[in-house]
Amino acid sequence: MKNIDAKGHVTGKSIYVDDIPTINGTLYGVIFDSPLAHGHIESVDYSKALTLPGVITILTHEDIPGENQIGGIIPDEELFASKDVHFAGQPIALIIAESNQIGFEARKLIDINILEKEVIVDPREAQKKDQLILPPRTFELGDTENSWEKCAHIFEGQADSNGQEHLYIETQGAYAIPLENGHIRISSSTQGPTAVQRITARVLNMGMNKIEVDVVRLGGGFGGKEDQATPWAVMAALGVQILNKPVKVILSRMDDMRLTGKRHPYSSDYKIGFSKDLKIMAYETTFFQNAGAAADLSPAVMERTLFHATNSYFIPNVKATAYSCKTNLPPNTAFRGFGGPQGMFVIESALAHAAQELGVSAYQLQKNNLLKNGNEFPYGQIADGVELTKIWSEMESKFDIEAVEKEINYFNSSNTDIKKGFSLMPVTFGISFTKTPMNQARALVHIYTDGSVGVSTGAVEMGQGVNTKMLQITAQVFSLDPKRVRLESTNTTRVANTSPSAASSTADLNGKALHQACSALLERLKNCAADHFGAQSKDIEIKSETIYCQGERTDIRWNDLVLMAFLKRICLTENGHYATPRINFNMEKEKGHPFAYHVYGLALTEITVDCIRGTSQFDSVKIVHDFGKTMNPSVDFGQIEGGLVQGIGWMTMEEISYNDKGQLLSNSLSTYKVPDIYSVPKDVIIEPLKTEGNDMAILKSKAVGEPPLMYGIGAYFAIENAVRAFNPNFNSTFDAPFTHEKILMGLYEISESERVDS
């Protein structure tokens, strides 16, 4: 089945928040944010702005009836700064005006006086000054300390990865409207409708039951709307509460880029030790996560970094420590992979470093240390269903890694100005929210008397195709034409207490809840048919909307049966609930079984570098991916391609830049480069691994949202490989992104001794 949204998207008919027809009298909110990254607010003068015609009011912390607090994990973030500001772009007030344009004009008329304080932008500096979001955490397996002396080779270094702007095509926004009795309905571009509802209730000091959050779809989220869609929705709702008028808050692109957090930059140390036969004996790593000025989701992101510190390798002795460092940047947040990619970049850097010094190819080290069934992850889970060895052989048999290496070496020996490079990037990604209680979902299914079906779940459609998958599940269980199923908006009054659509788990969790609801309804209908035929429910089958009894086709159709059930006063509505079995995690011991299963894969990346200009072009990325049994190849292949290219962007061109005053320099699309059609690899080949799939996955179709992003990490090491072919003296810096500028510097960098000689 094709993505059910495809037609609406390409014809421009899909509805996003800003497309919802506005009610007469709708007002528009524009955020006034801190110009400085750290300081004490001495005074703010709104008087000039308030006199601008069309400005209705300006809301500040003083207008908040409940708590001025939006922190989800830790209550450390105000909706509107009251006394101090902690990052440039921190909201201080909401200007409500008759139009956005007037709001923007009014914003220029606000005078603010801030007593500047010391600004920290570097996570290591924050850690030294004890500016931490929460105490550090350490995952340990075996005994690294006593392992080093047994190692034949030990390598140490530093690896840094930069942040990443989500750049969802639809910017953050919400539209709130007043209902009777002071109730409020919010249309929000959020991955977490319940988060919006909960925080709005807290700030507005009203029951969650009085706030309805509705989500039709998002123009992209990528994690950026897991937590950070909330403040704009709360602001709009506050405007409604105070003015009793509809209020829309939609961020302009530059406001969105300045005000919101991004992927966490990390600076990390590693030490890796090998036995004589190049088995990894010990690995120590310390992560310095740049959390920004408030916790947001940073503690959970940091945890996922620890969970993925060893990527696809078995290492018997591991010590991984992570610091979530408080800096004066916008609070960084969820971004596809959620800390996992940052952890994996470090071990891949350690392996690249080791390979370089040992004079072997990095892929030999990778292959030599792949995780196998029965191995223990540093967090205690025992690996099972590991597909890595099979995936590796599949890659070798389909694409002959050694031949690729030989060809590239031959190419490089016969070309001086252009060089090729390659890399392999294995991925092992844990599926489940690492916070066990979040792994639950519900679905509400109505069968209407005409036989058509309405489905509500907690899943938010953000372009990933989850609605298509939900529709498929419904149609499959009922054996119904998919056209007869409607996917409703995600709404907190129909499905309550939802986890955000995140962690690659949305289709699994909501799909399983939906499967249960549909199965229960089906059983009810079968019982009804059995009654009618004087048979038992096990004798009844429904195939393509026709009822079969004891294998015989009957003249009862789906519609007839539904109506029959209704007339017999049988309930045609069902609520399904799913909670992932078996998973657990003990944070005191830092051990448990946090993941329902893992997704595995391997990418082979080939690149050509123009050694005169420092530019590069990806020739191909070949991927062997463990989909389980994909329930929708076109949706899932789309996720692989998108994730790959987004990962390549993070690793090679997207360069977030703040100055030392905490001001965002890469603040627009002219200064921040994301991959476009020209930077996509010429060839992307995706080979699904032949496998049985996993029962914990919906219809055995494994989670596919986040894992492919990490294939993009291979891009960094493929470039390195090509640069070294041109300049054998190139010193790896392991500081992503590997931009064209850095490529050029790397190509012409000379060794310390040559520098002295010349």
Which of 307, 323, 338, 429 touches ligand MOS (CB under 6 A)? 338
Q: How far is the CB of 525 from ligand MOS (least distance, A)?
A: 36
Q: Which of 294, 502, 696, 703 binds ligand MOS (CB under 6 A)?
A: 502
Residues 6+ apart with CB under 8 A from 435: 300
Minimal distance, residue 189 CB to ligand LUZ, in Å: 17
Q: Closest CB to ligand MOS among 60 and 305?
A: 305
Contact status, residue 578 vs residue 509, Cβ threshold 8 Å:
yes
Least distance in angstroms from the C-beta of 300 to ligand LUZ? 5
Residue with tokens 């064209």: 740
**Cβ atoms within 10 Å, residue 156:** 12
Rule CB under 6 A: is residue 602 a binding residue for ligand MOS? Answer: no
**116 flagged as catalytic:** no
Interactions with ligand MOS, residue window 154-213 (CB under 6 A): 191
Smallest gap from Cβ 680 to ligand LUZ, in A, equals: 24
- Contact at 8 Å (CB) between 591 and 377? no
DSSP tag of 599: E
Would you say 499 or 666 has its CB closer to ligand LUZ? 499
Question: Measured in whole angstroms, how far is the alpha carbon of residue 176 from the centre of its chain?
Answer: 26
Token pair of 545 as six digits: 């909307």
Query: d(Cα 466, Cα 512) in Å, to the nearest integer?
Result: 13
Q: Binds 335, which of ligand LUZ, ligand MOS, none (CB < 5 to 8 A, cut-off by type)? A: ligand MOS
* Interacting positions 213-232 with ligand MOS (CB under 6 A): 223, 226
Q: How many residues bind ligand MOS (CB under 6 A)?
A: 10
Q: Which of residues 432-491 bind ligand MOS (CB under 6 A)?
A: none
Residue of minimal Cβ distance to ligand MOS: 223
Q: What is the pairing mode between strands 91-97 and 55-59?
A: antiparallel
Name the DSSP class of 163. Answer: -
**Of 37, 64, 196, 503, which one interacts with ligand MOS (CB under 6 A)?**
503
**How many Å separate Cα 175 from the centre of its chain?**
24
Question: How near is the Cβ of 338 to ligand LUZ at its closest, in Å?
Answer: 3
Comparison of 200 and 305: residue with beta carbon closer to ligand LUZ: 305
Do 40 and 115 form a contact (C-beta atoms < 8 A)? yes
Q: Give the three-state DSSP class for 322.
A: strand
List interacting residues with ligand LUZ (CB under 6 A): 223, 226, 297, 300, 304, 334, 338, 433-435, 502-503
- The order of strands in the sheet holding 111-116 is 84-85, 39-45, 111-116
**What mask, x for binding ligand MOS by CB under 6 A, covers residues 99 to 138?**
----------------------------------------
Cβ proximity to ligand LUZ: between 77 and 655 the closer is: 77
Give min distance, CB of 297 to ligand LUZ, in A.
6
Give the residue with the Cβ less far from ligand MOS, 81 or 635: 635
The rounded distance, in Å, linking the Cα atoms of 506 and 468 is 12
C-alpha–C-alpha distance, residues 467 and 511, integer Å: 10
Is the alpha carbon torsion for 550, 554, 559, 562 positive or negative?
negative
Q: How many CA atoms lie within 13 A of 475 on its CB side?
A: 16
User: Which candidate in 165, 590, 706, 720 is catalytic?
Assistant: 706
502 near 460, Cβ under 8 Å? Answer: no
Shortest distance, position 420 Cβ to ligand MOS, whole Å? 33
The stretch near ligand MOS (CB under 6 A) out of 6-14, 333-341, 373-381, 387-395 is 333-341
In whole angstroms, what is the distance from residue 625 CA to residue 62 CA?
A: 53
Q: Which of 49, 199, 318, 334 binds ligand MOS (CB under 6 A)?
A: 334
Rg (CA), the chain: 27
**Site pattern 697..716 for ligand MOS (x: CB under 6 A):** ---------x----------
Give residues in contact with ligand MOS (CB under 6 A): 191, 223, 226, 334-336, 338, 502-503, 706
Catalytic residue ranges:
706
